């Protein structure tokens, strides 16, 4: 069993389609909202129908807060390494340490030459990449007096280094052939192949070449991350297949290719948590044969009656209590036991407006026995709470900004100019940009639920229909409240009396979101564990 000591991470591989720029950015936002770690973007500068990859990455970085980003992979022949190093380091500083560098030696040489780049033989391409990596690392080393690399393909003679990235940025090399694999072992922080070019049955041989080159260079092979671009799959055992790649071949970062929103949502909400649980169970247990991984774990992940790998005991099957008997945090008809705990609604309201009557909300009472909460089921329910926690955190930060403006901590004139520029910065949030980002995140989250999650749950158990009808109706109400926030933003820009209007709109947004998110968690955490996300 190969273990390179890297934490598991999951991401997306997006197409920078210039014909639908807004949708591409939305997929980046969805990557974060789905709980994934990383978004990557193709880089083909000669392709007329593609956006510039690094410009797209900068845009997505400005609209997200935790998502890491990189190219998959950068076309070095059309991006001089010294300038590339400054671009990537600058984006890392602006995103507070969320950029990595995926890089390749180049391909499609006719297109490269047509765009003004060089034509290189395979041997020349590898040599040029080695020189490029040397220049990039030297440029990031702000402690150096100058960058001096006298290469055959790249020469930097006395340029001043800097800026340094915000974090220890990794260089991930897209490599297939023996010489590129050896370069990866000598110089890179990660190996980034694609399943389409390097199928699973070739991973062992190619990993061995990387390890051999690393050892020859005096490096620890365990410090080289093993990433893998994987094809989407509808196979029920997809999570088990990825877990096996992690356990047997040391793959630690799985990146799903394609631009399907439902695939991204499933990859984040279902597949990634399941893979983590399976790998953790195998590594901590240490007694099972990886060859039996599929048959042993698939039943646990899909059968609600199966006992979890960590020995969860079955919940009591006593009759359900009424809402008043169960207390305010436990919906009628079920007990949460050791499952995820929905966030309670504290009942505090900032606005005197009531867009709906909480007392008229229906509740869901499952007809089947209480769950034996397996690790997989807990992860499915917890994911919804995690997404909602992010929304709640963003909302709290919005209130903090409004307080800063009201107290004069942020100059009104400067705030308005930043609104127009749609810029977001720590401790100097702009009202317009921040609200627009938050509203877009809420809208994306609700759109996914309306289009994919809700129909699935409705078909899984007809008893959920009244709850889902109510949640959908509340989504429409919240959409109207978001429109009020947008109108209030215009008032803030237009004159000094706009801030009270914005505060009232955001107060109402807070009330509706706090109440709605809590209700949704109470009603859907257990159904999500029972039926999954799709």
Compute CA 181 distance to the chain's CA centroid, rounded to the nearest angstrom: 28
* Confidence at residue 311, expressed as pLDDT on a 0 to 100 scale: 29
Supply φ then ψ for residue 321, to 5 degrees. Answer: -95, 165
| 3-class SS of residue 178 | helix
pLDDT of 171 above 90: yes
* Confidence at residue 290, expressed as pLDDT on a 0 to 100 scale: 42
Q: Which of 72-81, 392-401, 437-446, 448-457 has the highest mean pLDDT?
A: 72-81
pLDDT of 175 above 60: yes
pLDDT of 476 above 70: yes
Q: If you average pLDDT over residues 172-184, what whole number do you get?
A: 97
> Residue 322 region, left (φ>0) first, then alpha (ψ -120 to 50), else beta?
beta
* Confidence at residue 254, expressed as pLDDT on a 0 to 100 scale: 98
| Residue 378 pLDDT level (bands cut at 50, 70, 90) | confident
* Confidence at residue 534, expressed as pLDDT on a 0 to 100 scale: 57
pLDDT of 417 above 50: no
pLDDT of 333 above 90: no
| Residue 486 pLDDT level (bands cut at 50, 70, 90) | low
Do 190 and 227 meet the contact criterion of CB atoms below 8 Å apart? yes
Please state the three-class secondary structure of 439-453 as a single string: HHHHHHHHHHHHHHH
Do 7 and 37 meet the contact criterion of CB atoms below 8 Å apart? no
Do 481 and 509 meet the contact criterion of CB atoms below 8 Å apart? yes
| Residue 533 pLDDT level (bands cut at 50, 70, 90) | low
User: Taking the chain, what is the end-to-end CA distance rounded to the nearest angstrom?
Assistant: 32
pLDDT of 415 above 50: no
* Confidence at residue 382, expressed as pLDDT on a 0 to 100 scale: 83
Q: What is the pLDDT of residues 122-151, one digit of tens each?
A: 999 999 999 999 999 999 999 999 999 999
* Confidence at residue 377, expressed as pLDDT on a 0 to 100 scale: 75
Compute CA 108 distance to the chain's CA centroid, rounded to the nearest angstrom: 30
* Confidence at residue 483, expressed as pLDDT on a 0 to 100 scale: 77
Share of the chain above pLDDT 70, in %: 77
pLDDT of 442 above 80: no
Q: What's the mean pLDDT when you consider all of the chain?
A: 81
* Confidence at residue 405, expressed as pLDDT on a 0 to 100 scale: 65
Q: How far apart are CA 32 and CA 18, in angstroms?
A: 21
Q: What is the pLDDT of residues 286-296, one digit of tens each?
A: 544 444 344 33
| Residue 335 pLDDT level (bands cut at 50, 70, 90) | very low
Q: If you average pLDDT over residues 17-39, what whole number do you get?
A: 90
Q: If you average pLDDT over residues 247-264, what whole number do you get?
A: 93
Q: Which of 275-279, 327-331, 426-430 has the highest mean pLDDT?
A: 275-279
pLDDT of 265 above 70: yes
Higher pLDDT, 408 or 84: 84
Q: How far apart are CA 131 and CA 335, in angstroms?
A: 62
């Amino acid at each position: 069993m190969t273990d390179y000591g890297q934490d598991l991470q999951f991401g997306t591989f997006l197409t920078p389609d210039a014909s639908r720029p807004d949708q591409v950015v939305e997929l980046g936002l969805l990557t974060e909202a789905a709980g994934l770690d990383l978004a990557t973007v193709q880089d083909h500068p000669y392709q007329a129908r593609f956006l510039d990859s690094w410009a797209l990455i900068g845009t997505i970085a400005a609209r997200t807060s935790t998502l890491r980003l990189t190219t998959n992979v950068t076309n070095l022949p059309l991006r001089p390494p010294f300038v590339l190093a400054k671009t990537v380091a600058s984006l890392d500083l602006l995103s507070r340490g969320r950029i990595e560098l995926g890089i390749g030696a180049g391909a499609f040489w006719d297109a490269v030459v047509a765009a003004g780049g060089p034509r290189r033989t395979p041997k020349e391409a590898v040599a040029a990449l080695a020189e490029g990596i040397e220049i990039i690392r030297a440029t990031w080393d702000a402690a150096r007096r100058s960058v001096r690399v006298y290469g055959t393909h790249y020469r930097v003679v006395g340029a001043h280094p800097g800026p340094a990235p915000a974090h220890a940025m990794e260089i991930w090399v897209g490599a297939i052939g023996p010489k590129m694999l050896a370069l990866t072992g000598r110089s890179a922080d990660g190996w980034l192949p694609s399943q389409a070019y390097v199928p699973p049955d070739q991973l062992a041989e190619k990993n061995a070449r990387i390890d051999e080159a690393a050892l020859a260079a005096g490096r620890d092979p365990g410090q080289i991350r093993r990433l893998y671009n994987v094809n989407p799959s509808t196979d029920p055992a997809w999570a088990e297949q990825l877990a096996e790649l992690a356990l047997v071949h040391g793959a630690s970062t799985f990146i799903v290719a394609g631009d399907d929103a439902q695939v991204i949502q499933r990859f984040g909400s279902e597949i990634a948590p399941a893979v983590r649980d399976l790998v953790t169970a195998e590594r901590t247990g240490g007694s099972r044969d990886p060859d039996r991984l599929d048959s042993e774990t698939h039943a646990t992940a899909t059968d609600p009656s199966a006992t979890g790998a960590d020995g969860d005991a079955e919940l009591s099957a006593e009759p359900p209590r009424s809402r008043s008997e169960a207390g305010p945090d436990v919906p009628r008809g079920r007990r949460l036991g050791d499952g995820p705990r929905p966030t309670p609604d504290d009942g505090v309201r900032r606005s005197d407006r009531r867009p709906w009557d909480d007392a008229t909300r229906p509740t869901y009472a499952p007809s089947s026995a209480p769950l034996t909460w397996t690790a997989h089921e807990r992860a499915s329910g917890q994911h919804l709470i995690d997404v909602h926690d992010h929304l709640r955190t963003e909302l709290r930060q919005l209130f903090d900004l409004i307080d800063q403006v009201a107290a004069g901590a942020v100059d009104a004139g400067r705030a308005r100019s930043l609104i127009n520029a749609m810029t977001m910065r720590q401790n100097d949030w702009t009202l317009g940009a921040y609200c627009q980002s938050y509203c877009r995140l809420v809208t994306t989250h609700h759109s996914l639920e309306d289009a994919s999650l809700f129909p699935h749950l409705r078909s899984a158990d007809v008893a959920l229909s009244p709850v889902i009808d109510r949640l959908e109706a509340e989504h429409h109400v919240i959409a109207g409240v978001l429109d009020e926030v947008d109108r209030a933003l215009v008032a803030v820009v237009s004159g000094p009396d706009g801030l009270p209007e914005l505060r009232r709109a955001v107060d109402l947004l807070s009330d509706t979101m706090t109440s709605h998110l809590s209700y949704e968690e109470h009603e859907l955490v257990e159904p999500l564990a029972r039926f999954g996300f799709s």
